[in-house]
Structure 1
Amino acid sequence: MMKVIKANLFAAFLSATTGSVLAADAKPTVVLVHGAFADASSWNGVIGELEKDGFPVVAVANPLRSVKFDADYVRRVVAGIEGPVVLVGHSYGGSVINDAAVPKSNVKALVFVAAFAPERGETAAELSGKFPGSTLASALAKPVVLEGGQKDLYIEQSRFHEQFAADVSNAQADLMAATQRPIIEAALSEPSVSAAWKSIPSWFVYGDADKNIPPKALGWMAERAGSKGTVVVKGGSHVVMVSNPIKVTRLIEDAARRD
């Protein structure tokens, strides 16, 4: 009888110890949020690298309807994930994750990929115009007018490669131009209600040839946020996650591994 009790106690100890080891080894989930004029497939190269390294990944279909609406949607996605999360945003997606990562949530790190990191009350349009260099306005197509007078914005397909993705192949840029997702114009002038980078560690990566958001603006936001690590991709366009997925992935993994 004593042997059975000892065996059961040992089994319980072994199970508890194994569970602790597995929990300690578990990797955070990486949640990827695309920006305007893109879709979740823009993360395909990064997803492949992350999954190869054992990270669970969710690439959110960002609605691109308003900062508040989109942030609420992303917040609900994150709330449904067990364990820690690294929240990654591209371009306008940075404004979204900035408002989605509420205090005391399971978000352990923020990664801004050629992305806006607004202070409370700041807008994407304001930050984009803080320094000269953006040529986005001149590359936009005629807007699609929606019911109620709202306008959906697209980049002119003939300008898409040069404006948005200069460092990817012609074929890939053509595909991205044809499948781009529109953003409601008002979302770009909607003030942020949060500044998650003040309480959650952040990392930044961007290209020095970005034509959507001036590199000086991106560097200024990274410095203001006290970035734990900033990578500037030489010759990188606005879609550095497409053209340089390994560099972007390594930064995300660095953020994921920090305590």
Structure 2
Amino acid sequence: MRVVFVHGACVRDGSWWWHRAARLLQERGVASVSPALPSCGEAGVPPGAGGPGLTEDVAAVRQVLRDGDAPTIVVAHSYGGIVAAEAAAGVGSVRHLVLVSSYLPEIGQSLSEFGDGTPAPFLDVDPDTGTFGVRPELLVDTFLQDCDSDVQTQAPAHLTRQSVQVTGQPVGAAAWHHVPSTYLVCTQDKGTPARLQREFARRAGRVVELDAGHHPFLSQAAAVGDLLLSLQGTRR
């Protein structure tokens, strides 16, 4: 088995965000990888108007999923659920989708349809550059309040601005229709409140709740690792 981690919006260096869960999996002989998302500037092209968007993110993740035939669990966080919905569709090696405080879009839905039409207060949107990002001064209190000081200190260096066009681009496929799925509700999440997560999770085949903030793979890596290891025998 292998695990493919798909990180959320406005961050870069996915391997850092997932490193605690990835280390625990490695100790149990499970390999993992976190693809770079072009819309976050991780492919050498700066994010912004006319730059990479959802299509490029989907292609990047899909390429990694097709690189090998080992049974694969796709773990998507927040915006990553939008990407994974299309990227994992029709890939035979994908055995399970795990959505962490994330979205399960239907075909034709976009990220913007999961909000109320106004930018979240913790986001800074710049129409001139066509980018958006997390307000650094709100990062810890909104997303990392249950993480230790090491994570809280290091995390700002792994933020980035992202192309705002990803919020309005619809997905062309919905892998959760055909692939078993588990939704991990993070009950202490201040970015995406639990009540909203539970609404999103209605489309998942199974729902698990964890008393954690937005990044449980950093604050409670063992719990996340155990969940993923429990899915090793998943069959389609």
Counterpart amino acid of residue 62 in structure 1: L
Between structures 1 and 2, the one with greater helix share: 1
- The gaps in structure 2 that reach 5 residues or longer are 40-51
Query: What TM-score comes out, normalization by structure 1 length?
Result: 0.78
Give the Å deviation of 1:69.
1.4
- Say whether the 8 Å CA contact 2:71–2:95 is kept in structure 1: yes
Partner SS, residue 189 of structure 2: coil
Q: Which amino acid aligns with 1:240?
A: P
| 1: CA distance, partners of 2:76 / 2:68 | 17
Identify which range, 101-110 or 152-161, moves more after superposition.
101-110
Q: Distance in 2 between matches of 1:223 and 1:139?
A: 26
Q: Which amino acid counterpart does residue 32 of structure 2 have in structure 1?
A: V
Q: Deviations over 1:192-218 (max 9, x none)?
A: 211110100011113112222232222
- For 1:256, the equivalent position in structure 2 comes to 232
In the other structure, the counterpart of 1:66 is 53
Q: Report the aligned-residue RMSD.
A: 2.1
Change (3 A) 1:231 1:35: same
CA contact (8 A) 2:37 2:56 kept: no
Q: Against the structure 1 CA distance between its residues 155 and 171, is the aligned structure 2 distance closer, same or farther, given a 3 Å change threshold?
A: same
Partner of 1:35: 8
Q: Which segment drifts farther, 121-130 or 104-113?
A: 121-130
Contact 1:113 1:241 in 2 (8 A): no
| TM-score, L = length of structure 2 | 0.85
Determine the structure 2 residue equivalent to 1:79: 66
Q: Which residue matches 2:135?
A: 156
Distance 2:125 2:104 in 1: 28
For residues 248 and 209 of structure 1, what CA distance do their matches in structure 2 show? 15
> Would you say the 8 A contact 1:157–1:178 is kept in 2?
no
Out of 89, 92, 111, the position equivalent to 1:124 is 111
Rounded Cα–Cα distance in structure 1 between residues aligned with 2:53 and 2:185: 24
* Shift in CA distance, 75/243, structure 1 to aligned 2, threshold 3 Å: same
Aligned to 2:209: 232
Determine if contact 1:111/1:204 at 8 Å carries over to the other structure.
Answer: yes
Query: Structure 1's 84 and 171: CA in aligned 2 closer, same or farther, altered over 3 A?
Result: closer
Give SS of 1:109's match. strand
Pairs within 5 Å for 1:58-207: 58-64=33-39, 65-129=52-116, 137-141=120-124, 143=126, 145-146=128-129, 151-207=130-186
Q: Hey, what's the Cα distance between the residues in 1 that align with 2:194 and 2:137?
A: 23
1:45 aligns with 2:32: no
| Secondary structure of the structure 1 residue equivalent to 2:208 | strand
Deviation at 1:47, TM superposition (A): 0.4
Q: Distance in 2 between matches of 1:137 and 1:213?
A: 10
- Tell me: CA distance 1:129–1:49, structure 2 relative to 1, closer, same or farther (3 Å): farther
Query: Aligned equivalents of 2:22 and 2:64: distance in 1?
Result: 17
Code of the aligned partner of 2:3:
V
Larger Rg, first or second structure (1 or 2): 1
Residue 54 of structure 1: how far off its partner (Å): 0.8
Amino acid in structure 2 at the alignment position of 1:250: D
CA distance, structure 2, for counterparts of residue 59 and residue 85 of structure 1: 13
Residue equivalent to 1:18: none
Q: How many residues align?
A: 221
Distance 1:189 1:222, change over 3 A: same
Between the aligned partners of 2:119 and 2:152, the Cα distance in structure 1 is 16
